[in-house]
A and B are shown apart, each in its own frame.
Chain A
Amino acid sequence: MKIVVLVKQVPDSGVERHLNGDDNTTDRVSAGNVINEMDEYAIEEALQVQQRHGGEVIVLTMGPAHATESIRKALSMGPDSAVHVVDDALRGSCAVATSKVLAAAIGQIGPDLVLCGAESTDGRVQVMPHMIAEWLGVAALTGARKLTVEGSALTIERQTDEGYEVVTAATPAVVSVWDTINEPRYPSFKGIMSAKKKPLETRSLADLGIDPAEVGFDGATSAVVEHSKRPPRQAGHKVTDSGDGGVQMVDFMAAEKFV
């Protein structure tokens, strides 16, 4: 089974993040950049499918040049090789354009299964898997907390607000995963060493046959007009419980008309 795992480099969500003042894009330079956390679960799932069914695992990233750090880190967990779509013209790309580029790169690789995270921590859009599936005309099984592979038959448990749905499809398909699906492995020392030598190919827009006018700022289907910092919340009243903390809490709730 040929598996592509989508891995996105994102600014670390544990520290304050910014947008650039000049063009309203995400500041990916000053922030510490990490692998989108949910994608580590997708990598782990890909490796487990590979362990059971054989085949190869290919990491696919679209992102600026420094995304190679995250690609090497992803490779140190165990995937066989990586493809990095990198092109100056991609800066400022909207979700529609990003999905088009990723779909084109996937189309060239021709996998049976595409695994990705359920959402990215910077965009939080949760749209990429269905958008990619729409371009490719393949199935999308999204929000999986469990994946079973039997030959070409895929079954997931899709987490919903009310419980879960059991959804099936045949390969080729795109499957997105939540962080409840597995426990990602830590890269071993051997993994880290071998990751440096694993094949990492780059693709430009020309390699993918995509016109630069369709992506980046020029081709964007939506645009940020302005951004500002949200005024921080003010801390209110704080009491130390000396036996009547619960009553004081209810006094506050009553004053605010919650009880």
Chain B
Amino acid sequence: MAEVLVVVEATQAFGVKKVTLELLTAARELGEPSAVVLGGPGAAAAMTDKLAEYGARKIYAAEAEEINGYLVAPKAAVLAKLVQSVAPAAVLLASSQEGKEIAGRLAVKLGNGLLTDVVDLDASGVATQVVFADSIIVKSKVSKGIPLVTVRPNAVTPVPAPATPIREELTVELSEADKLAKVVDRVAEQKGARPELTEASIVVAGGRGVGDADSFKLVEELADLLGAAVGASRAAVDSGFYPHQFQVGQTGKTVSPQLYIALGISGAIQHLAGMQTSKTIITVNKDEEAPIFGLTDFGVVGDLFKVVPQAIEEIRRRKG
């Protein structure tokens, strides 16, 4: 069976991101998955168990300080050589900022087509994408080269399929052009124990209706009770209620969780662009005409400062 390359996304602490497990699951439908680890020394060993659990038959390890020391270009350089030598049936990456950037460089290097934000890829290489605020479904194909595809988080349910991967070392040889953008510092900002926004199965999001930064604690409280990530509308971000990296929508993150809870969000088209493929949507809004009710599975017309504390209390009571 043909080899399918899956480019591993990891956290700073060498944790395999959930999206990578989704990619491995999708790759198994297309051929034999090989995980490609591009990182600092020790990265592959730290992640082997997880990658094996989800069916990686092979692990390519490219480990060097330089890979993390410069932005994106080194990863694309290593990957381009690997693609040329193994001629895989497809290359899958996460549709994250970095995943897309690596894929973009790879496409230019190989003169290969590129499809981003894919939600499904079939064995014949036809990819499904949702575009324009997720209002249109598009089926596309790479017409030059192999399917080079970035896949949206939460598009596939990760299913374990234990394998015993063989490890293969890749040499990291970089040119001067790969070392032009130097990463001099990585600064972690408040994050806590919450799951990452794009990967979370539940997202609790607050809008302008939350009123101020302090009241976002209510949104966080509900989120933490549900093991959810916190999101925000642009109006909430622009008003300084919550940091920009949590913005959901056209100019923020695209999320597709099992459950999206919108609190004090009206449902502008640009907000819907980032969340309308969520499986289930719950809304609390005091305006019964708010457009978001049009796509809500369960809506409460009411004051979020009454409804949400009561819901929190009720969840606590049922949990005992």
Contacts and interface: CB of A to CB of B under 8 A. Distances in A.
Interface string B247-283: 0001100000011000000000110010010001110
Interface residues of A, number: 86
Interface string A138-153: 1111110100000000
B154 to A, nearest CB: 15
Contact of B113 (A96, A125, A246): A96
Interface stretch (B27-35, B44-52, B83-91, B189-197): B189-197
B112 A238 contact: no
Contacts of B298: 236-239, 249, 252
Given A127-B116, A226-B139, A221 B145 contact: yes
B301 A96 contact: no
Contacts of B297: 236-237, 252
B205 to A, nearest CB: 15
A180 B238 CA distance: 9
A230 B306 contact: no
Contacts of B11: 162
A141 B250 CA distance: 22
A173 B202 CA distance: 39
A132 B225 CA distance: 45
Interface in B89-135: 96-97, 100-101, 103-105, 107-109, 111-117, 126, 130-135
A240 B314 CA distance: 18
What is the predominant secondary structure among interface residues of chain A facing chain B? mixed
B295 interface: yes
B143 A259 contact: no
A241 B141 CA distance: 48
A18 B136 CA distance: 8
B187 A164 contact: yes
Interface in A191-231: 220-230
A143 B98 CA distance: 10
Contacts of B181: 139-141, 167-169, 173
B310 A245 contact: yes
B183 interface: yes
Contacts of A48: none
A124 interface: yes
B242 interface: no
Contacts of A22: none
A29 interface: no
Contacts of B258: 258
Nearest to A220: B143
Contacts, number: 287
A127 B106 CA distance: 11
A141 B114 contact: no
A122 B293 CA distance: 25
B300 A222 contact: no
A223 B108 contact: no
B2 interface: no
B301 A239 contact: yes
Q: Which 5 A-B pairs have the closest CB atoms?
A: A246-B310, A241-B302, A127-B104, A221-B113, A139-B180
28 contacts: A15-B269, A19-B132, A99-B108, A125-B117, A128-B104, A130-B73, A140-B72, A140-B73, A145-B244, A161-B197, A165-B71, A165-B186, A169-B180, A221-B143, A222-B142, A229-B137, A233-B281, A236-B297, A238-B300, A239-B300, A240-B300, A240-B302, A245-B306, A246-B308, A246-B309, A247-B314, A249-B284, A252-B282
Interface of B: 11-12, 71-73, 76, 96-97, 100-101, 103-105, 107-109, 111-117, 126, 130-145, 177, 180-189, 191, 196-198, 202, 226, 244-245, 250-251, 258-259, 269-270, 273, 276, 280-282, 284, 288, 293-303, 306-315, 318-319
Interface of A: 13-19, 24, 37-38, 94-96, 99-100, 119, 121-122, 124-128, 130-131, 133-135, 137-143, 145, 158-170, 173, 178-180, 220-230, 232-233, 235-241, 244-250, 252-254, 256, 258-259
